[in-house]
């Protein structure tokens, strides 16, 4: 049985990814404001999503953007 902490982490990741999908990218502060989490927590969530390949950090404007899956 999974802990509630693991489930909460997944929900936070999904919430952050949803914001990035809707906005087609956003800075940490924008995502944090949208999902109601502190910036430090949001940064950790976005970095976890980045390490898993679901988002990337755009060096041009320091925003996180959703990574699009290639067409099969």
Digit-coded pLDDT (tens) for 11-45: 999 999 999 999 999 999 999 999 999 999 999 99
Domain-embedded: residue 46? yes
Total number of domains constituting the chain: 1
Q: Does an H or E element contain 21, and which?
A: helix 4-23
Domain-embedded: residue 72? no
Examine the pLDDT at 54 and tell me if it is beyond 80.
Answer: yes
SS3 content of the chain, % helix, strand, coil (to 5): 55, 10, 30
Q: Are 45 and 16 in contact (CB under 8 A)?
A: yes
Rounded CA separation 26/61 (Å): 9
Range of the domain at 50: 4-66
Rounded CA separation 21/14 (Å): 10
Query: What's the pLDDT at 1?
Result: 55
Query: What's the pLDDT at 2?
Result: 61
Q: Share the mean pLDDT of the chain.
A: 92
Q: Does an H or E element contain 64, and which?
A: strand 63-66
Query: What's the pLDDT at 58?
Result: 96
Domain-embedded: residue 59? yes
Q: Give pTM, 2 decimals.
A: 0.87
Q: The domain that contains 27 carries what CATH number?
A: 1.10.10.10
């Amino acid at each position: 049985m999974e802990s509630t902490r693991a489930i909460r982490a997944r929900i936070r990741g999904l919430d952050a990814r949803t914001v990035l999908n809707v906005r087609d990218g956003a800075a940490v502060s924008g995502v944090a404001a949208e999902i109601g989490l502190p910036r430090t927590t949001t940064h950790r969530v976005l970095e976890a999503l980045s390490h898993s390949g679901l988002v990337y950090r755009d060096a041009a404007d320091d925003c996180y953007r959703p990574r699009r899956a290639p067409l099969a």
